[in-house]
Chain A
Amino acid sequence: MEVLKIATAGSVDDGKSTLIGRLLYDTKSLTDDKLEAIEKTSKQKGYDYLDFSLVTDGLVAEREQGITIDVAHIYFSTPTKSYIIADTPGHLEYTRNMVTGASTSQAAIILIDARKGVIDQTNRHFFINNLLRIKEVIVAINKMDLVDFSEERYQEIKADFEELMGKRDYQDQKITFIPVSALKGDNVVNPSINMPWYKGQTLLEHFEDLDKEDVYNVGTPRFPVQYVIRPKTEEFHDFRGFAGKVYGGELSVGDEVVVLPSMTRSKIKEIYFYDKKYQTATRRSSVTITLEDEVNVSRGDMLVKVGDLPTIDKQFTATVSWMDSQNLNLGNKYVLQHGVNKVLAKVENIHHKIKPDYSGVDTEVSGLAMNDIAQVTFRLNKPIFYDTFKEHRTNGSFILIDNQTNNTAGVGFIE
């Protein structure tokens, strides 16, 4: 089954929860008992329509405040695909959650209230989805019922958004505009009868048609070793398998590879998935690889193809999105986790803060507070083997762990 993960972004009250609820309702994904609970609560609250937002609002505190405060995951499926929606809140202060939700998604929905049009928040949502290099972005212009399903209004908003698109860094991002009414159900799953002027696909139709492989960023194969498998049984006496996930491209039996950091060369002897051997492992498959030669390989090492080396360096600059309540300051030290490899990192330089709404940079910086995004240079105690984030989404990203609290304090995209 194909899995498509979609991140959502919208300001409070733009109708995100309603949209997700509508998707579930119209794809018949809501179970009877959930539907009943929604009907009951909607009635209790005195609404004359179904409050779909109850589908997504999970935790008690939120239910009390009536807002979503973290990343929630919602699941539904059609005969062709399994969908995971990462529902991330769109408030100003929650850049960190949006980055989190977007980091594992292949597509994003940016919601706009047709009455308000493109607002500051929209810039932010777009900025982050573009920074994270999400391939597919849907701009859903919602509450069309409140602007008389007006094509003119839709075109106006679209033009405003297109102006933003000129500023984006990742120009290959595919952007699709869809006018919807989440509350009434127009163009979410079913085509709208109220907007005959719109000839495009509905939101779900669009996702259904996406080709699975197209939504992933392609790069060169990288194989970070997670774990060394040594069964020490009679049957597999000398077996040394390197367990990991293939990122970016394929690896095949016979490929000449280099082991980093030792720079030892060998050839792929076997590729196992469970108890069967295969000729080729495609990207994203979790396999076990054996090599022709007896090579010393441990967790954190990386297999790459000969002639396809990443950068091997102890210093680099990255765009950092800060997620911790304790500031990142010049000279601070962190554990830097790059894939499954851990090193120590020191903050060498903070160049400038990037305003995540295309309003420029802030060069007067001393430290980074939660939700700040900035360009930072790090020095490491050991070299890592990286690509730029542009070239390789996985091998170009890392997290920073605070050694005192063990919290994941920030995420970085290597430049």
Chain B
Amino acid sequence: MSIIETDLDTVLDVEQSKVLGALRNNDLENEAIYIFREVAAQFERPVLLFSGGKDSITLVRLAQKAFYPAKIPFPLMHIDTGHNFPETIAFRDKLVQELDLELIVRNVQDSIDQGKVVEESGKYASRNILQTTTLLDAIEEFKFDACIGGARRDEEKARAKERIFSVRDDFGQWDEKNQRPEVFDMLNGQIELGQNVRVFPISNWTELDVWSYIQKEAIEIPSIYFAHKRKIFLRDGFIWSAEDDVVFRAEDEVVEERMVRFRTVGDMSCTAAVLSDADTIEKVVGEIRASKISERGARIDDKRSEAAMEKRKQQGYF
């Protein structure tokens, strides 16, 4: 007879604990696993875009679940802005090694050196937008036909209409007015040569869903997500890291040391911290539950204009 195991967060009686659905009852997880399997079945060269952030780490866990006991049947790719938190990179390398995954890294710095993009300058200089070129080049280089990403529809208004399978033309562009309807569970991944599909398995998750999942699954995440002492300075009501020379800091911007954590771990130059004492996952989830600042509020590049995200997406931004 098979072994029956339970790992409940609630206590269930024995009879009920035999039923998988009653154990987990997580529609979002089931949906994400279903999507991963569709990707593996429908595409020849999928890749998981890995940023080192909590959303892409969650994706890796979901992919493990989708294909167990086999290995994840596609590589991870990191588009490295060169402005990553060192903790993120160390974490990435450890994860890849532990799970015996293939990792591809492509650098924004190379795109700059090749003269394909120009480094921004000034107070709000960021490499976030430059990533797009490096990404599109890498897609072409490896002939990827499906790029799996951790974007969620609740992150931002323009994302609310993104499909789970979102077709990009050969220029990586998104035509939001001409999207394929997605009915029931059926995902249509049929594309022309040269096109690719962006896939969003956790489309329907909210930030809190991700955090709760990380807690429940005891998934390891980079240390900067937890409260730590850091040298910071204030600008425009945001808290910036002053420990690295990536973030532009004017002479009159005063550095102080505070307990902070990061809610996203994107490009250091446009990722702000929040004041926090939450140094465990339980405390972080508690804080998020109570918090009233939306996650992207901590990303300065979206603030540039209300339609910022939509514009970047049309150009092929992830």
Contacts and interface: CB of A to CB of B under 8 A. Distances in A.
A366 to B, nearest CB: 24
A193 interface: no
User: Size band of the A side of the interface?
Assistant: 35 or more
A74 B204 CA distance: 9
B160 interface: yes
B97 interface: no
A281 interface: yes
B2 interface: yes
B120 interface: no
A237 B88 CA distance: 35
Contacts of B26: 1
Interface in A54-93: 56-61, 63, 69-75, 77, 82, 84
A281 B21 contact: yes
B37 A227 contact: yes
A239 B5 CA distance: 20
User: Size band of the B side of the interface?
Assistant: 35 or more
Contact of B180 (A236, A278, A282, A408): A408
Residue among A96, A227, A407 with the highest chain B CB neighbour number at 10 A: A227
A388 interface: no
B11 interface: no
Interface in A262-282: 270-282
A317 interface: no
Given A406-B188, A407-B180, A82 B206 contact: yes
Given A227-B37, A274-B64, A339-B185, A72 B160 contact: yes
Contact of A99 (B40, B160, B183): B183
A401 interface: yes
A104 B209 contact: no
Contacts of B199: none
Given A77-B206, A323-B181, A34 B41 contact: no
A283 interface: yes
Contact of A285 (B24, B66, B291): B24
Contacts of A241: 69
B166 to A, nearest CB: 13
B164 to A, nearest CB: 10
Nearest to B176: A59
A82 B209 contact: yes
Interface string A252-270: 0100000000000000001
Interface string B158-191: 1011000001000000001101111111101011
Contact of A279 (B18, B34, B177, B291): B18
Interface string B1-35: 11111010000000000111111111111110110
B176 A96 contact: no
A136 to B, nearest CB: 16
Contact of B65 (A37, A226, A274, A401): A274
B184 A32 contact: no
A337 B188 contact: yes
B186 A337 contact: yes
B20 A271 contact: yes
Contacts of B37: 226-227, 243-244, 286
B157 interface: yes
A236 B160 CA distance: 41
A232 B67 CA distance: 12
A60 B310 contact: yes
Interface in B244-292: 291-292
A393 B186 CA distance: 12
B184 A104 contact: yes
B4 A279 contact: yes
Nearest to B307: A60
Interface string B116-160: 000000000000000000000000000000000000011001101
Nearest to B65: A274
A299 interface: yes
Contact of A286 (B22, B33, B176): B33
Contact of A282 (B22, B64, B192): B22
B69 A72 contact: no
Contact of A394 (B40, B158, B185): B185
Contacts of A100: 181-183
Nearest to B192: A406
B177 A61 contact: yes
A71 to B, nearest CB: 7
Interface in A367-415: 393-394, 397-399, 401, 406-408, 411
Contact of A277 (B4, B24, B190): B4
B218 interface: no
Interface string A27-61: 00001111001000000000000000000111111
B94 interface: no
18 contacts: A34-B294, A61-B177, A73-B160, A82-B28, A100-B183, A104-B183, A231-B70, A236-B69, A243-B66, A253-B2, A270-B2, A274-B64, A279-B19, A280-B20, A282-B22, A335-B190, A393-B184, A397-B183
Given A73-B204, A276-B7, A406-B190, 5 more contacts: A3-B204, A32-B293, A227-B40, A245-B34, A401-B190
Interface of A: 1-3, 31-34, 37, 56-61, 63, 69-75, 77, 82, 84, 96-97, 99-100, 103-104, 212, 226-227, 229-233, 235-236, 239, 241, 243-245, 250, 253, 270-288, 299, 323, 335, 337, 339-340, 393-394, 397-399, 401, 406-408, 411
Interface of B: 1-5, 7, 18-31, 33-34, 37-38, 40-41, 64-71, 153-154, 157-158, 160-161, 167, 176-177, 179-186, 188, 190-192, 203-204, 206, 208-209, 212, 291-294, 297, 306-307, 310
Q: Which 4 A-B pairs have the closest CB atoms?
A: A282-B21, A286-B33, A31-B294, A231-B70
